[in-house]
Amino acid sequence: MRLQAITAKPVKQYKSYCFTGQTDPNIFRRLILIKDVKKYFAYNFNRRPISTSKEPNMQQVFTKAMARNIFLGGSVFFLAIYLALTYDTWQQIPLRDHADKMTPAVLSGKYLFDTNNCVGCHTLNGEGAYFAPELGNVYKRRGPEFIKAWIQSQPTGVPGRRQMPNFHFDQKELNDLVAYMEWLSHIDTNNWPPNIQG
């Protein structure tokens, strides 16, 4: 860059006044030709002001490469921590949700729960849609018989009331669903929800 500055033929350029606050003394002369006006604007508006200060500016102290390295290094570092934590969580989850109690009935109930899109209206441990009550603790709130009777009696057909479809479950399927909900109600969720109403 410096070599070029010494060897290159000096090019006559208009001095930039646009950032100095001074008035360009030659402005009227330059307005004579459209070409000059174009040049003037091209010079003044398409360039950054050249710093005259000898101090290194922000541009040189904190470069784009440094920003990129923080991005890449930070991401990899925290991803590694996350993976380690996930490994530990994976060991703990089966203890916290009593995975050993996931009987075939529980798994069958879970499959019915998923393929009938229960979380399309309800929440399960707070996740899902907010149209209908929480199901993570519904077993404790209502008990098995109420749940079965409720599912069978849907839809209520009360005008204006939120309607739940009838899924035409047979008795085994109802029992499986209730088994799943019972299993759900024993998950250690750090004491959530705050009360039985979910």
Partner 1 sequence: MKFQSQKVAIPYFVGALALFLGQIVFGLIAGLQYLNGSFLFPELPFDIAHMSHTNLLIVWLLMAYMGAAYFIVPEEAQTELYSPRLALVTFWIFLTAGALTILSYLFVPYAHLAAITGNAALPTMGRGYLEQPLPIKVGIVLVALSLLFNVTMTLIKGRKTSINLILVGSLWGLALLFLPAFYFPQDTVKASFGWWWIVHGWVEGDWELILGALLGFILIKMTGVDREIVEKWLYIIVAMTLISGIIGIGHHYYYTGAPAYWIWLGTIFSAFEPIPFILLIAFSFKMLLARRREHPNKAAMLWALGTPLMAFLGAGLWGFMITLAPAQYYMHGTNFTAAHGHLAFFGAYAMVALAIISYAMPLLRGRIANSAAAQRWEMTGFWIMVLSMIGIALALTGAGLVTVLLQRAADDPMSFMQVQDKARVFFWLREFAGLAFFIGLLVYLRSFFIAGEYGYAGEMKQALAA
How big is the CA angle at 96 (ends 134 and 76), to the nearest 5 degrees?
95
User: Beta strand pairing status for 127-128 and 123-124?
Assistant: antiparallel
Rounded Cα gap, residues 28 and 196, in angstroms: 82
Quick one: 29 or 76, whose CB is closer to partner 1? 76
Cβ proximity to partner 1: between 24 and 43 the closer is: 43
> What's the CA gap between 96 and 99, in Å, rounded?
8
By C-beta, is 31 or 82 nearer to partner 1?
A: 82
Minimum distance of partner 1 from residue 22's CB (angstroms): 20
Provide the minimum distance between the beta carbon of 42 and partner 1 in the complex, in angstroms, as a whole number. 11
Instruction: Tell the smallest beta-carbon distance from residue 106 to partner 1 (Å).
Output: 9
Question: CB under 8 Å, gap of 24 or more: what pairs does 67-72 form?
Answer: none
Instruction: Between 2 and 48, name the residue whose CB sits nearer to partner 1.
Output: 48
Q: What is the closest distance, in whole angstroms, from the C-beta atom of residue 176 to partner 1 in the complex?
A: 13
